[in-house]
Structure 1
Amino acid sequence: YDGCDLENNRFFAERLCRYGNMSGYDTQIVLSEELDPEDAPDIVVSRSRNLDVITTLEEYGSTVYNRSSVSRICNDKSATYTFVQNLGIPCLDWSFGDISPPGPPWIVKSCIGHGGKEVHKVDDVASAIDLIQSMHDRKPIIQKMAGDAGKDLRVYVLGGRILASVMRSSDSDFRANFTLGGRAELHDVPDDAMSIIKKIVPELLPDFIGIDFVFDENGKAYLNEIEDVVGTRMLYELTDLDPARVYMEYITHSKISL
């Protein structure tokens, strides 16, 4: 874990430790800032977005869940969009600000943000330019706004299998994030979103991710982002699953099969 994230996610971290120890591993919570790569463990469950740390651990022999190639693509939205567009997967038009996608309104967001905290709606060119300039150190992009704003679908994928899918919505905010006060309910995965998932998973080879979709006025699904360090609060809230237990069981079985 990165130090800035651990306190808000200690419940899940401690459950991972609990099930890791129950599986026969000597499991500890370690901050990425305090890691000694020369004492790299055999297995790392990475809940960090620090690509340098993950890459270094792999170089020192650790098996990392999710691996560095997943982190590199998922924790930079421009890399995510390039990856999926090369697979023929639709995402909403975007640019680094040199060319405006259809609009306004537009969404301006950081490529390296998460949790909806660096995502802004803008209604005119001047506001977009000012915001992009103010976020210059956060790798901002400007993107067409989804036709059905305030709604998105998160699909949890573990080991190539769908654990659950949750529709998030908000009547008061164009962002539907659960942690920002949005509503959430279990929802079936539409056929077009399922087709996208089936293209992503064999190319990305993730262990545990969340794939987020937004929708246009006609209900067509567009890839919005792929969460490497995917939150689990909605799974605990809406299902009988214990994602920490399921994740650790997956890790144990995948290590046995190596």
Structure 2
Amino acid sequence: MIVLYESAAAQHNQGFIDELKRYFSIELLTWDDWSEDGLEQLLKRVQGHSVFFRVRQPHAARFLEDNGVRLINRAEVNRIANDKWQSYQFFQLLGVPVIPTQKTPLALPYITKTADGHGGAEVWHVESPVDMPAIESLLLYQPVVPHIADVRAYVIGKNIVGAVKRSATDSFKANYSLGASVERFELTAAQRNDVEKIATALNSDYIGIDFLLLEDGRHVFNEFEDPVGARSFYQTHDDNIAELLAQHFTNLEQNYPFRDSDRN
């Protein structure tokens, strides 16, 4: 199996890559040329291999998959995850609670974000017109939802392997890489049911599903991540994501082109 990263991300995630190599036979491939010619060269390099696709390049994922390359996650998962407007529509289609999102500004105050941002970047709390970012990217707008924490559920295949509660210390962005405090979190039955519904509909292999935890105990979904990082999981759990992924990869290889969920 080939694990595909962009060069900078591979350096940032070298520890995880090394850990994955302990449990499964993988080859790291770094790639940064997403031009048409670059994709043709990439296709030649990965054809005939399964690819653990760890980049945010939906057009590349679709190109490879359309040319017969087996991706983990599927191209459609990468596409929806990296377009917050598509994610919002997907959550609505499933009927799970989701933060109302629109393409036109709301009455102040509100949250605005780019459609393709990730990791807590490119998100702004707008309290006055001067807070609006001076960028040309497509922006989405959401109301400010009072909440006590942000929760990320980690899902491998159809199995929820853990969840992390993330609380911001001095910012509305509850992201571990931005300094939020983290702790292990036990999902309620309702939360678990909705997370499983999302993962099943996506037919995903490895994602992080994010929701806000409201003061009254209810939850409202925000987005899901592909690729998803596991630093907060390792900080709060004894299980090893790399080992769990290796078990999932082994199962995929043994059952290809089927999955366990295809069995009666």
Q: Same fold (TM over 0.5)?
A: yes
CA offset at residue 163 of structure 1? 0.5
Distance in 1 of aligned mates of 2:90 and 2:31: 27
How far does the alpha carbon of each residue in 1:102-153 deviate from its partner, in whole angstroms, 9 at most, with x for none?
x5321111111111011111113x246x42xx2322x21111122115x201
Which amino acid in 1 is paired with 2:15? F
Distance in 1 of aligned mates of 2:59 and 2:21: 23
CA offset at residue 89 of structure 1? 1.6
SS at match of 2:32: helix
Distance in 2 of aligned mates of 1:73 and 1:199: 16
Correspondence 1:213 to 2:225: no
Contact 1:168 1:184 in 2 (8 A): yes
Distance in 1 of aligned mates of 2:189 and 2:136: 38
Correspondence 1:113 to 2:117: yes
Correspondence 1:89 to 2:87: no
SS at match of 2:239: coil
Q: How many residues align?
A: 244
C-alpha change, 1:76 and 1:67, in structure 2 (3 Å) is same
Which amino acid in 1 is paired with 2:216? N
Superposed, 1:118-133 pairs within 5 Å as 118-124=122-128, 126-127=129-130, 130-131=132-133
Percent identity for Structure 1 against Structure 2: 30
SS at match of 1:251: helix
Distance in 2 of aligned mates of 1:42 and 1:82: 33
SS at match of 1:148: coil
Out of 182, 197, 208, the residue aligned to residue 195 of structure 2 is 197
State the match for 2:43 in structure 1: 37
CA offset at residue 28 of structure 1? 1.6
Two-structure CA RMSD over aligned residues (Å): 1.8
Correspondence 1:48 to 2:55: yes
Moved over 3 A (4+): none
Which amino acid in 1 is paired with 2:136? H
State the match for 1:181 in structure 2: 179
Distance in 1 of aligned mates of 2:141 and 2:124: 10
Contact 1:212 1:223 in 2 (8 A): yes
Unpaired runs of 5+ residues, structure 2, are: 34-40, 257-264
SS at match of 1:89: coil
Superposed, 1:73-88 pairs within 5 Å as 73-88=80-95
